Amino acid sequence: HIVTKPFAWARRAFVWSGEAYLSYSLAALSLMGYAASTYAWYNNTAYPSEFYGPTGPEASQAQTFTFLVRDQRLGANVASAQGPTGLGKYLMRSPSG
């Protein structure tokens, strides 16, 4: 890649300056950060609920009771699981705070 030139369409499509390289790199970092956060939010295989708490979809209001019962059956003390916040792990936060 050092000794060859980019294709003609790439030379026309991109700006070839230091500032452009920096902005392309920052855009790629933000895209990869979004992909990683989405992966962690939905993936129950890499981040099992039994170790890390419920994934985003599991923590929804519609499924709260299901996962509370499951954790109780696994032996978790759900009343003290979150310390002073009580059952915060199982309750959806209000958007208004």
CA-derived radius of gyration, the chain: 22
What distance in Å separates the CA atoms of residue 65 and residue 24, rounded to the nearest whole number?
Answer: 45
Could you give the C-alpha distances from 18 to 14, 25, 85, 89, in angstroms and in order? Answer: 12, 11, 49, 46
- State the amino acid at position 87 in one-letter form: L
Tens-digit pLDDT string for the chain (97 aa):
678 888 899 888 888 888 988 999 999 999 999 998 888 777 777 777 777 777 666 666 556 677 777 778 888 776 665 555 555 555 555 444 4
pLDDT in tens, 51-73: 777 766 666 655 667 777 777 88
Question: Rounded to an integer, what distance in angstroms lies between the CA atom of residue 8 and that of residue 13?
Answer: 9
To the question of pTM greater than 0.75 for the whole model, the response is no
Look at residue 68 in the predicted model and tell me its pLDDT. Answer: 74
